[in-house]
Amino acid sequence: MSSPNGFGDSDLRELAQSQDLDERAFALMELAHLARGSDNWVAARDYYGSALDVYSQLDNEAEVARASYSLGFSQVRLGQHEDAVPNLQLALERARELNDSGDIAYACGPLGDSLASLGRLDEAADVFGMAITAYEDIGEPAQAGFACLS
């Protein structure tokens, strides 16, 4: 299987061992996307977690946010809501720091779902409210309903 960037599985696995942290993080994210695309959420979670560690070492805040979201989303898909919450909260915090309404909107759906699954309904309602505002900000108000009903 090849990634959308044209790298094959074996190329990506080799790059994931690179001493160059940028190459390693890129490869880990690509491997995670491939796993996600084949509904292998356990592998996706593990690759996203490894990518998050590398991006944290690189102090790359935008990619930390992206990897945190992806890790948290994978955990939600696996029903690991307790584990997902801090990752999705980190993604949301980074998106807010970067004033990125799109990333705010996307982080709110699974975060709200996890909070609701954990019985933290007031927090979930607040997060879903943020989602509505963020989706309005990016001109996709109809998506807010979908995110809040996911």
Distance CA 72, CA 84 (A): 4
CB neighbour list of residue 14: distance below 8 Å, 6 or more residues apart: 27
Judged on CB neighbours under 10 Å (0-12, 13-18, 19+), 39 is exposed
- Give me the mean pLDDT over the 120-140 stretch: 93
Structure tokens of 19?
A: 């001493």
pTM, full prediction: 0.87
Closest CA to 52 of 80, 24, 78, 82: 24
Statement: residue 4 has pLDDT above 70: no
Q: What pLDDT digit, counting tens, does each position of 77-116 carry?
A: 999 999 999 999 999 999 899 888 998 999 999 999 999 9
Q: Measured on CA atoms in the order 133, 149, 125, 85, is the torsion positive or negative?
A: negative
